[in-house]
RNA sequence: GCCCUCGUAGCUCAGUGGAUAGAGCACCGGCCUCCGGAGCCGGGUGCGCAGGUUCGAGUCCUGCCGAGGGCGCCA
């Protein structure tokens, strides 16, 4: 049982002596923002006072008194403060226990959990149309989706990463027309693809003057480039799922038939409609156009039928740009019509990324490619920039500013901490200082405020990873990594590991602390997809 | 017109209904005899506006203002 659970149980027991029944699992505990408020704090007196028929301050006082008579482990003082908080100040022992835990669990085990209970979740992200290079926005949500997958994986979900490849007729034809036009030395048709890349592809194309075949050929080349680009920022997929394959296999028609059998479909004006209003949509939607073609929605429903009913994912998370907001209700309705609980489909809409003075559009050819951004900033900066804040936050990226600031960038701040740790290791090796086994190190020597601050930070990582997973918010890991790096730099400055006046036993304890910091940083950087460099 | 998301320091952003709202950047001062100065220490009244809910609101509700996005037999 960790210290947090022990405190919860103690509070629960203390409340019981006052005639208030509240299970330990429901006791709210938090780490106060200010150190003067102790190491742990509970607001139960505030939340329970009303039911108990007393005022919060009085209840807090009574609870504190009850707890003082049988203080939990490591607790040194119990105080009441503010409107009725009960604050616990702990001795450094609990932090030494954390240190032991971090080093024992190591890079693979620390902050890993079974929170997801092995639930099979598919995360679909990027899914950019293979009609042109991926742009900055794709990379932004790509980093998000990939790090979310890493975070949820560490928190006990069984995660699969998927890219939906939109390689169906209409777009392939348009791409093919643009390609063939370029090969003939003409401008692409109205509404075609104007980008430079089409010109390059056209000069390499040696196939027949067939629009569809030219389009398919081009999209394959483009998709290969997309894979290469995403791999530069360490994004890889378990599955590249072809939309055309669903159509060609007849599963779209099949799905529409299934919906018809379930009575959710009707015909009007020569088209086939889904009665999506029965499932919360604002209007009914067309599944088959009057010209006989299936709509995008029909394909998307068939695709999600495959996700849920054929492949059997417990949960599906679609990461989309906010510009896809309009299709969410229809897709959820379609899923519900199939008999799948729509709550199992989670759509994360990311606010759009804009660039200073740029308007991105693939068709017009005006966009900043992800490759360009990586060339400018490097893979680590590119990746971390997009994981600096919530995807609910609309951002305007200023590439020039990012370059100017690159030496002051948070990435370097964090990586520098890692490099310093590695450097300590090298110096220790040079001086022949070897690390003792864990059970021979006297951790009680670690009492410097900087040391304890670093340990407090390390203690947070399991909670941060769990929160990042359940809230689908990998940027929380970024915040933690920055905070840990800050704690480490402070420690590094004030606490020499192998300084002249540092006794060997303290050196040993600090070496272990440094190793724990390294483990924490390595874990967080790996979750973020950023390198942990030995040197810079 | 209707719907969704977002408005926090000069800038980029944190902030499970809790205590004196925090970081980084930029700006101004300090700090190298020892493990990397890409570092450390100090310098700060800003929650778009107005109501409401309650012991307590940056956080929840309503309205307004502002920004972005959506409302196709496009994908």
Quote the pLDDT of residue A363. Answer: 45
* Residue A436 DSSP one-character state: P
Give A285's contacts (C-beta < 8 A, 6+ positions apart): A273, A274, A276, A295, A297, A330, A333, A334
DSSP notation for A63-112? HHHHHHTSPPTTEEEEEEETTTEEEEEE-THHHHHHHHHHHHHHHHHTT-
Q: How many helices (H) and strands (E) does chain A have?
A: 19, 14
Is the CB of residue A86 less than 8 Å from the CB of residue A11?
Answer: yes
Quote the pLDDT of residue A507. Answer: 96
Categorize the per-residue pLDDT at A4 as very low, low, confident or very high, splitting at 50, 70 and 90. Answer: confident
A110-122 pLDDT, tens digit each: 999 999 999 999 9
Structure-token pair, residue A113 = 């959990």
A344-CA/B56-C1' distance, Å: 36
Categorize the per-residue pLDDT at A361 as very low, low, confident or very high, splitting at 50, 70 and 90. Answer: very low
A466-CA/B55-C1' distance, Å: 32
A265-312 pLDDT, tens digit each: 999 999 999 999 999 898 899 999 999 999 999 999 999 999 999 999
Q: Which nucleotides of B are covered by protein (CB under 7 A)?
A: 3-7, 12-16, 18-20, 22-26, 34-41, 55, 67-75
Minimum-distance nucleotide, CA of A425 to C1': B35
Closest residue to B18 (CA to C1') is A43
Minimum-distance nucleotide, CA of A413 to C1': B38
A451-500 pLDDT, tens digit each: 999 999 999 999 999 999 999 999 999 999 999 999 999 999 999 999 88
State the average pLDDT over residues A236-255. 94
State the average pLDDT over residues A119-141. 93
pLDDT of residue A429 exceeding 90: yes
Q: How far apart are CA A356 and CA A227, in angstroms?
A: 27
Quote the pLDDT of residue A408. Answer: 66
A75-CA/B4-C1' distance, Å: 48
Minimum-distance nucleotide, CA of A40 to C1': B19
Categorize the per-residue pLDDT at A405 as very low, low, confident or very high, splitting at 50, 70 and 90. Answer: low
State ipTM.
Answer: 0.93
Closest residue to B67 (CA to C1') is A394
pLDDT of residue A534 exceeding 80: yes
Closest residue to B56 (CA to C1') is A83
Quote the pLDDT of residue A364. Answer: 47
pLDDT of residue A360 exceeding 50: no
A11-CA/B54-C1' distance, Å: 25
State the average pLDDT over residues A37-62. 87
Give A292's contacts (C-beta < 8 A, 6+ positions apart): none
State the average pLDDT over residues A192-215. 92
A298-CA/B73-C1' distance, Å: 12
A325-349 pLDDT, tens digit each: 889 999 999 999 999 999 999 999 8
A524-CA/B27-C1' distance, Å: 32
Q: How far apart are CA A51 and CA A468, in angstroms?
A: 33
A72-99 pLDDT, tens digit each: 999 999 999 888 899 999 999 999 999 9
For chain A, percent of residues with pLDDT exceeding 90: 73
A372-402 pLDDT, tens digit each: 999 988 999 999 988 988 888 878 787 877 7
A320-CA/B71-C1' distance, Å: 17
Categorize the per-residue pLDDT at A366 as very low, low, confident or very high, splitting at 50, 70 and 90. Answer: low
Contacts of range A91-98, beta carbons closer than 8 Å, 24 or more positions apart: A92/A444, A92/A446, A92/A447, A92/A452, A92/A455, A93/A444, A94/A3, A94/A39, A95/A446, A95/A452, A95/A455, A95/A456, A95/A459, A96/A443, A96/A444, A96/A446, A96/A455, A97/A3, A98/A455, A98/A458, A98/A459
Minimum-distance nucleotide, CA of A80 to C1': B19
A416-CA/B25-C1' distance, Å: 17
Minimum-distance nucleotide, CA of A287 to C1': B73
Structural domains of chain A sorted by starting position, each given as residue range(s) with its CATH number in brackets: 3-91 (3.30.1360.70), 120-262+277-284+298-354 (3.40.50.620), 409-528 (1.10.730.10)
Closest residue to B33 (CA to C1') is A500
Average pLDDT, chain A: 91
Residue A421 vs residue A377, higher pLDDT: A421
Minimum-distance nucleotide, CA of A36 to C1': B19
Q: How far apart are CA A221 and CA A200, in angstroms?
A: 11
A349-CA/B70-C1' distance, Å: 12
């Amino acid at each position: 049982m960790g210290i947090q659970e022990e405190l919860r149980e103690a509070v629960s027991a203390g409340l019981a002596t006052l005639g208030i029944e509240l299970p330990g699992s429901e006791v709210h505990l938090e780490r106060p923002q200010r150190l003067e408020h102790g190491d742990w704090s509970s607001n139960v007196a505030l939340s329970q006072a009303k039911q108990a028929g007393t005022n919060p301050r009085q209840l807090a006082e009574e609870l504190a008194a009850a707890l003082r008579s049988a203080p939990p482990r490591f607790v040194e003082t119990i105080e009441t403060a503010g409107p009725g908080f009960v604050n616990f100040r702990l001795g450094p022992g609990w932090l030494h226990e954390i240190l032991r835990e971090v080093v024992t669990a190591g890079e693979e085990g620390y902050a890993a959990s079974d929170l997801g209970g092995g639930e099979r979740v598919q995360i679909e992200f990027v899914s950019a149309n293979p009609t042109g290079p991926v742009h900055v926005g794709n990379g932004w949500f790509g980093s998000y989706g990939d790090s979310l997958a890493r975070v949820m994986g560490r928190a006990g979900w069984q995660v699969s990463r998927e890219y939906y490849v939109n390689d169906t007729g209409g777009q392939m034809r348009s791409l093919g027309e643009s390609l063939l036009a370029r090969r003939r030395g003409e401008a692409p048709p109205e509404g075609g693809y104007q980008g430079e890349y089409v010109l390059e592809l056209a000069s390499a194309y040696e196939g027949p003057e067939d629009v569809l075949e030219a389009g398919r050929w081009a999209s394959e080349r483009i998709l290969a480039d997309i894979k290469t680009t995403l791999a530069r920022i360490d994004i890889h997929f378990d599955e590249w799922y072809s939309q055309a394959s669903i159509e060609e296999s007849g599963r779209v028609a099949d799905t529409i038939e299934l919906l018809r059998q379930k009575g959710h479909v009707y015909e009007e004006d020569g088209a086939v409609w889904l009665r999506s209003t029965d499932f919360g949509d604002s209007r009914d939607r067309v599944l088959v156009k009057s010209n006989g073609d299936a709509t995008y929605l029909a394909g998307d429903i068939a695709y999600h039928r495959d996700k849920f009913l054929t492949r059997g994912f417990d949960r599906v998370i679609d990461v989309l740009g906010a510009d896809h907001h309009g299709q969410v209700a229809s897709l959820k309705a379609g899923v519900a019509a199939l008999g799948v609980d729509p709550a199992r489909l989670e759509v994360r809409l990311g606010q759009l990324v804009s660039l200073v003075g740029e308007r991105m559009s693939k068709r017009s050819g005006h966009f900043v490619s992800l490759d360009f951004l990586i060339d400018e900033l490097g893979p680590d900066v590119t990746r971390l920039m997009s994981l600096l804040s919530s995807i609910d936050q609309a951002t305007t990226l200023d590439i020039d500013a990012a370059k100017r600031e690159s030496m002051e960038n948070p990435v370097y701040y964090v990586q520098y901490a890692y490099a310093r740790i590695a450097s300590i290791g090298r110096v220790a090796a040079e001086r022949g200082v070897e690390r003792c086994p864990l059970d021979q190190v006297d951790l009680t020597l670690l009492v410097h405020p900087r040391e304890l601050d670093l340990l407090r930070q390390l203690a947070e990582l399991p909670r941060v990873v769990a929160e990042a997973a359940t809230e689908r918010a990998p940027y929380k890991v970024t915040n933690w990594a920055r905070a840990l790096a800050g704690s480490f730099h402070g420690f590094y400055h004030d606490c020499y590991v192998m300084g002249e006046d540092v006794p060997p036993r303290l050196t040993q304890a600090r070496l272990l602390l440094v190793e724990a910091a390294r483990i924490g940083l390595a874990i967080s950087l790996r979750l973020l997809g950023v390198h942990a460099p030995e040197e810079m």
